[in-house]
């Protein structure tokens, strides 16, 4: 004969065991559901990214913004002109140490040929800005090397200079004009240059063609920007591609910039050399 007290204890134990089993079961079910959702999101994210990438590739192929549908996902592509104004930030791109980038100071035709009739004035002023604001307090901030390619008469020549926010680190480099941030909007360092005086003083009648910029010492990619006192010529264009999975609203965006082609870095050394280069 089972006592009433013993029966009550048995029931309580059974209820506790059932509660534990239920809790574990719900936890496993919740984990499984979450895992399934994450897997679905990753799959949908990959699909959206592939569609956005396809939009970029097709737009680059045809040379203009072109929407692309992959499966049931449509990538919407927009074209954004680069340059043509007094402020230019390379489409928001960032650059590794030693990576060369260019700012054209003469225009281009629709066929992408050089058009010297459109040019930045040879007495213009330009502010070079670089480094995100975290670099202001860095022990190893990036320096900047700048080369100005110009045409004097029938000859092409180059003037080179370097600017370093860390005093005494690089021989022959000039100091910067501002190293406290907030330059060209939100960049760490700035150097003001005039094309008719100082390091880059151009000869009378010379035509500035190309400004070539290269960051040094940075361990990660850093932004660059150029602000001028006159409008810069067009530099090319960027394509922004955005694709969304309708069911989940997962969206992926890609930007690809296509700037006008410029000579390789060796070109500067050919101009700089006083004699013939031997291959």
Tally of CB atoms within 10 A around 202: 21
How many distinct structural domains can be found in the chain? 1
Give the pLDDT of residue 8.
66
Q: Report yes or no on 241 lying in a domain.
A: no
Tally of CB atoms within 10 A around 152: 13
**Residue ranges for the chain with pLDDT beneath 50:** 2, 274-279
Q: Report yes or no on 247 lying in a domain.
A: no
As a whole number of angstroms, the distance between CA 97 and CA 120 comes to 27
Q: Report yes or no on 29 lying in a domain.
A: no
Q: Report yes or no on 67 lying in a domain.
A: no
Q: Report yes or no on 80 lying in a domain.
A: no
CATH of the domain at 150: 2.60.120
Give the pLDDT of residue 6.
63
Give the pLDDT of residue 63.
87
Enter the pTM of the model. Answer: 0.78
Per-residue pLDDT reduced to its tens digit, 187-234: 999 999 999 999 999 998 999 999 999 999 999 999 999 999 999 999
Containing structural domain, residue 186: 85-232
Give the pLDDT of residue 279.
36
Give the pLDDT of residue 275.
47
As a whole number of angstroms, the distance between CA 215 and CA 135 comes to 13
Q: Report yes or no on 130 lying in a domain.
A: yes
Integer angstrom CA distances of residue 1 from 4, 8, 10, 11, 13: 9, 14, 14, 16, 19
Q: Report yes or no on 43 lying in a domain.
A: no
Nearest Cα neighbor of 210 from 158, 165, 273 is 158
Q: Report yes or no on 72 lying in a domain.
A: no
């Amino acid at each position: 004969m089972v006592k009433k007290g013993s029966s009550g204890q048995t029931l309580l134990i059974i209820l506790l065991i059932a509660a534990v089993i239920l809790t574990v079961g719900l936890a496993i079910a919740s984990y499984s559901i979450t895992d399934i959702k994450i897997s679905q999101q990753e799959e949908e994210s990959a699909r959206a990214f592939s569609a956005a990438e396809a939009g970029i590739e097709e737009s680059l192929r045809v040379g203009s913004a072109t929407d692309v549908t992959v499966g049931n996902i449509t990538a919407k592509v927009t074209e954004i002109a680069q340059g043509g104004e007094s402020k230019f930030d390379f489409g928001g791109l960032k650059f590794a140490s030693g990576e060369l980038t260019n700012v054209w100071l003469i225009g281009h035709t629709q066929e992408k040929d050089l058009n010297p009739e459109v040019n930045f004035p040879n007495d213009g002023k330009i502010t070079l800005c670089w480094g995100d604001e975290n670099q202001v307090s860095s022990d190893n901030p990036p320096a900047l090397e700048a080369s100005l390619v110009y045409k004097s008469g029938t000859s092409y020549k180059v003037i080179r200079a370097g600017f370093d926010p860390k005093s005494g680190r690089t021989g022959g480099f000039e100091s910067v004009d501002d190293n406290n941030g907030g330059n060209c909007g939100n960049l760490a360092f700035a150097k003001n240059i005039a094309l008719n005086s100082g390091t880059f003083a151009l000869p009378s009648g010379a035509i500035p063609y190309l400004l070539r910029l290269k960051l040094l010492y940075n361990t990660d990619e850093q932004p660059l920007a150029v602000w001028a006192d006159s409008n810069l010529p067009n530099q090319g264009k960027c394509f922004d591609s955005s694709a969304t999975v309708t069911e989940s609203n997962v969206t992926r965006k890609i930007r690809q910039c296509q700037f006008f082609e410029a000579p390789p870095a060796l070109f500067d050394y050919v101009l700089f050399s006083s004699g013939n280069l031997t291959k």
